[in-house]
Amino acid sequence: MAERAWPRLAAWSEDPKSSAILTDIDGTLSPIAPTPAVAFVPDELKELLAKLHKKYLLVAGVSGRKTEEARELVGIEGITYFGNHGFEVMREDGEVEVIPEALPYMENIEELETLAREELAPLGAFVEEKGITASIHFRNVPPEVGEKCVAFAREHGERLGLRVTVGRGIVEARPPIKTDKGTAVRTLVEEHKPKRAMFLGDDTTDLDAFRELEKMRDEGTLEEILRVGVKSDEGPPEIVSEADIVADGVEGVGEVLRSLL
């Protein structure tokens, strides 16, 4: 599959104004960090993204972070950012929109965050303040504490009517609405109408974007897609098995972006 995909990737530069480049941020553009606050995107990748933004129809970041934090981390003005797994969007005007269907769940999210700070933060877990979604990071705690974080989120998430997902050193709760990185990708494709689109990702939530691209290709919304899976020791095996191209860490992502230029 990859042998056929790399030549197709290079050919995209011949018609960039018909192509969309959509990417996860943490673990894809930014190496996984002990806490979200110390994550960074290498300068080389920032420069590549800035060049691609000028050349291609669309470059967008699709992140689990709050939208403002996603833009600050990438550091490029004028591109679209979807944050909080698709619950927020910031377009070129810089205004953040939260999807209205999610707002009734704000109090439940806040309750789960408060309880997590009381019960899990003293054990070393980091409870990230994200607004419309909640994230509990357990990368830097013993395995038994990580298991407790996951069990806690599942128990209280079910009680509060929230959807819970587990990723690389993180468990997250969000409103039980069909909103994820896949719906964010569909929204971007429907708004900008590219002929071809790609998504780069490394974790479980990025599989929603992979699968939505496949649906849009099969239904004829897109003529061509590319799914770039960022390989890691912690990522789900499907990131590799469902990818058209496998990138070896953030360095491999740089190779993909350079090919697009």
Range list of β-strands (E), the chain:
19-23, 58-62, 80-83, 88-90, 96-98, 126-129, 134-137, 163-167, 170-174, 196-201, 224-231, 245-248
Number of other residues whose CB lies within 10 A of the CB of residue 37:
9
User: Which residue carries 């000028």 as its tokens?
Assistant: 54
17, two tokens: 């104004």
- Measured over the CA atoms of residue 121, residue 113, residue 168 and residue 250, the dihedral's sign is negative
Shortest CA distance to 82 belongs to which of 191, 220, 224, 228?
A: 191
Active-site residue (options: 15, 24, 206, 233):
24
Q: Pick left, alpha or beta for residue 21 (phi over 0 → left; psi -120 to 50 → alpha; otherwise beta).
A: beta
What is the spatial distance between Cα 119 and Cα 148, in angstroms, rounded to a whole number? Answer: 10
- Looking from the CA of 177 toward its CB, the CA atoms found within 13 Å total 22
What is the spatial distance between Cα 30 and Cα 192, in angstroms, rounded to a whole number? Answer: 26
Q: Has 24 been annotated as catalytic?
A: yes
Number of other residues whose CB lies within 10 A of the CB of residue 186:
18
Three-state SS string over 99-159 comes to: CHHHHHHHHHHHHHHHHHHHHCHHHCCEEEECCCCEEEECCCCCHHHHHHHHHHHHHHHHH
Tell me which residues are annotated as active site. Answer: 24
